[in-house]
Chains A and B, each alone.
Chain A
């Protein structure tokens, strides 16, 4: 690789430089027992949480009957998300709109912020996506138990034809406790990590015009990455609401 991409410690995968490389600190320094490479996603997540919170506070500070500017944008977003969650969760949508909407917005900003130079997507790290997935996992089973009770919950696990239960019960257990969390987290992480790795490889390979100006041959991959990032955020929110709807059951929706 060129000097532009410094080889990271995670299996020789090239990464773009971030604002951590500009800070006047030792590259191998440890803060709170974490290396800088491990600390970066956490700092970026904190920044995004602060950004979203401040934006919401500014938008909802003085609410008007006729919205203007920031409030109008936020109302459009909330209405679109409300319609989307209503189409899946029906009557229960008011209860789960904050959860699913927050997931969608947070993941969308996390995916798209990697396109800004010197910033880094936290979702390119597996720990972030696994934490988000565990939230969905706990919510799914908690509300499933709360709305159906333990007996009906186990009955739902048994499957429809009763004589096939011995075969279906392990299958349901494996599907709900292993496959779903794993695929949900790996889908988001793999898409984002793959996209950003392709970007960094192409940026490292870009030829120089007159030995000074780099030619941006990675530009088509930027467009692909923008599409992919928004699509994956949407799919994550869709699947979270879909899993919750499936565990609550058809009768309550």
Chain B
């Protein structure tokens, strides 16, 4: 029981990965928008660069999503837990 509780808490804590991911994406978009404001003719190149960077940063949060799906498979379903508790 304690083991499954720890797994459930770990799944919840994995959501904190998006905290840092959001800060990183904000910094990236800020840099892109200020550089476009300085030189509007480079909009296409800067946009491509920004999207590549955003894709990399996005992947970090996605890793934790995959991990959470893997851990969700380790948890038992509610019916079997209730059956154990009723005894």
Question: Which chain A residues have a beta carbon within 8 Å of chain B's beta carbons?
Answer: 10-13, 183, 186-187, 189-191, 193-194, 197, 228, 231-232, 234-235, 238
Q: How far is the CB of B44 from chain A (nearest CB, A)?
A: 12
- Chain B residues with Cβ below 8 Å from A13 are 69, 72-73
Assuming the A-B contacts A191-B58, A235-B52, A235-B55, are A11 and B69 also in contact, with contact meaning beta carbons closer than 8 angstroms in the complex?
A: yes
Q: Is the CB–CB distance between A183 and B70 below 8 Å? A: no
Contact B52 A186 (CB under 8 A): no
**Closest B residue to A189 using CB positions:** B66
B51 within 8 A of A: yes
B37-74 near A? 1/0 per residue, CB < 8 Å: 00000000000000110111011001101100110111
A193 adjacent to B66 (CB under 8 Å) = yes
Cβ distance A108 to chain B, nearest Cβ, rounded Å: 14
Contact B59 A11 (CB under 8 A): no
B68 vs chain A, min Cβ distance (A): 10
Q: What residues of chain A lie closer than 8 Å to B62, measured between beta carbons? A: 186-187, 190-191, 194
Residues of A within 8 A of B52 (CB): 234-235, 238
**Shortest Cβ-Cβ A-B pairs, 7 listed:** A11-B73, A190-B62, A187-B59, A190-B66, A235-B55, A194-B65, A231-B55
- Please measure, in the bound complex, the distance between the C-alpha atom of A187 and the C-alpha atom of B59, giving whole angstroms: 5
- Among B65, B74, B77: residue with most chain A CB under 10 A: B65
Per the bound structure, the CA–CA distance linking A220 and B58 in Å amounts to: 18
Tell me if B63 and A11 are in contact (CB < 8 A).
no
Residues of A with C-beta under 8 A to B54: 231
Q: How far is the CA of A25 from the CA of B51 in the complex (A)?
A: 44
Q: Which residues on B sit within 8 Å (CB–CB) of A228?
A: 58
Shortest B17–chain A CB gap in Å is: 12
Q: Which of A10, A186, A187, A235 contacts B73 (CB 8 A)?
A: A10
What distance in Å separates the Cβ of A3 from its nearest Cβ neighbour in chain B?
A: 17
A187 to B60 CA separation, bound complex (whole angstroms): 8
Q: Find chain B residues with CB under 8 A from A234 CB.
A: 51-52, 55
Instruction: Return chain B residues, CB-CB under 8 Å to A10.
Output: 73
Asked, given contacts A190-B59, A191-B59, A235-B52, whether A11 binds B70 with beta carbons under 8 Å apart, the answer is yes
- Cβ-neighbour of A194 out of B51, B55, B56, B66 (below 8 A): B66
B54 to chain A, nearest CB (A): 8
Q: How close is A200's CB to chain B, nearest CB, in angstroms?
A: 12
What's the least CB distance linking A227 to chain B, in Å? 9
- Chain A nearest Cβ from B47, distance in angstroms: 12
Give the distance in Å from the alpha carbon of A234 to the alpha carbon of B51 in the complex.
10
Flag if A186 contacts B63 (CB, 8 Å).
yes
Q: Is the CB of A11 within 8 A of B66?
A: no
**A-B CB contact pairs (8 Å), 11 listed:** A11-B72, A186-B59, A186-B63, A187-B55, A190-B65, A190-B66, A191-B58, A191-B59, A191-B62, A194-B62, A231-B51
Residues in A with CB closer than 8 Å to B55 are 187, 231-232, 234-235
Give every chain A residue within 8 A of B59 (Cβ-Cβ).
Answer: 183, 186-187, 190-191
CB-CB under 8 A from A190, the residues of chain B are 59, 62-63, 65-66
User: B1 CB to closest chain A CB, in angstroms?
Assistant: 19
* Contact residues in B for A238 (Cβ distance below 8 Å): 52
